[in-house]
Structure formats: structure tokens, C-alpha cells
């Protein structure tokens, strides 16, 4: 029987349990980064909240994109995943605060996307597919049994991406 494992704000989940589905609910401006090693059957999901810490504080928290991606890969590798085999997908980063005259500072979604793409590029990790941007929230699921990753946007059906 399949069991959903919720991945909350600033959290990471890594699993090899074929009965589990890793789920980041309600990604608005947050970014979800999912990875899967098809040989070992290890899945991981990060639910990052902000692009980077302010004033150099809280440097190790996984609520930040860069720290979270690093920790996600570390945890997966510690369980036997091989970096070169990881299939990486990304979702979220919507611009949830839209209003005329609103500063770009509040466009956290766009900044989260850019940071994730930059960190992954520096680590030479290719994003196989992504469902990012816009102004609609989404839910990101990874099925550990086969590595299938899906998105469900508000008011739409779940789709593989």
C-alpha cells in the first residue's frame, strides 16, 4: 500500500521504500528539487523556501535553495545513490505576490528558480525537466517505486513531467 510522506517547508526527504510517495504540497514561491537514482531506487525531494540566507545567518538550513540542494545530494549519496546517475527535476517558483509597483524583492519564486538552476549548473547536474514560474501553486510528487515525478497545479489533473 502506498504511503505519502509530506516534505514540509525547508525539509528534505530521502527514501528507498518502494511503497512511499514523497510529496511537497502547495509549492508557491518555494522550489521543489527532486532527484532519483534508477539503479538503487533512491528518491529525494527538497522543499526550499528562500534563495539564500540574509546577512550570512543560518547558513546550514535546508530552507535555503543552495544549502538544501547540497544536503539533498549528500543524504542520497550516503544511502548509496551515485551522483552521475541522478535524474533531477524541479518545480515551483511561482510569483505569488503580484501587484503594480511591487518591488522585485518580493518575487521570491523567480529568485528561487535562478538560484536552483545556478547551484545545479555549478554542480554539473542537468535538470531533466522543470515546471516552474507562473503565478499558480503546485504539488510535486515522487513515486519511489519507479522514480516517476508528477505535478498537480491548482484546478488541474496530476501530470508526469
Average pLDDT for runs of 10 along the chain of length 161: 96 99 97 99 98 78 95 99 98 81 73 98 97 96 99 94 92
User: In this predicted structure, what is the pLDDT of residue 154?
Assistant: 85
Is 0.85 surpassed by the pTM of this model?
Answer: yes
Q: Which grid coordinates belong to 124? A: 554539473
Distance CA 84, CA 98 (A): 39
What is the span of the domain harbouring residue 85?
A: 3-160
- What is the distance between the alpha carbons of residues 107 and 126, in angstroms, rounded to a whole number? 24
**Which class for 154: exposed (0-12), middle (13-18), buried (19 or more C-beta within 10 A)?**
exposed
Taking Cα atoms as reference points, which of 11, 56, 2, 57 lies closest to residue 32?
11
Q: Which CATH number is 53's domain given? A: 3.30.1330.200
Amino acid at each position: 500500500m502506498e504511503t505519502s510522506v509530506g516534505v514540509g517547508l525547508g525539509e528534505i526527504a530521502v527514501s528507498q521504500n518502494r511503497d512511499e510517495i514523497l510529496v511537497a504540497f502547495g509549492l508557491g514561491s518555494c522550489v521543489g528539487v527532486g532527484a532519483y537514482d534508477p539503479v538503487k531506487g533512491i528518491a529525494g525531494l527538497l522543499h526550499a523556501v528562500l534563495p539564500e540566507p540574509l546577512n550570512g545567518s543560518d547558513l546550514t538550513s535546508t530552507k535555503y535553495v543552495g544549502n538544501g540542494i547540497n544536503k539533498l545530494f549528500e543524504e542520497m549519496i550516503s544511502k548509496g545513490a551515485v551522483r552521475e546517475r541522478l535524474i533531477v527535476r524541479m518545480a515551483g517558483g511561482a510569483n505569488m505576490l503580484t501587484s503594480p509597483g511591487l518591488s522585485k524583492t518580493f518575487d521570491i519564486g523567480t529568485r528561487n528558480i535562478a538560484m536552483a538552476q545556478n547551484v545545479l549548473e555549478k554542480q554539473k547536474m542537468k535538470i531533466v525537466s522543470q515546471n516552474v514560474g507562473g503565478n499558480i501553486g503546485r504539488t510535486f510528487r515522487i513515486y519511489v517505486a519507479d522514480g516517476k515525478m508528477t505535478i498537480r497545479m491548482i484546478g488541474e489533473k496530476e501530470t508526469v513531467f
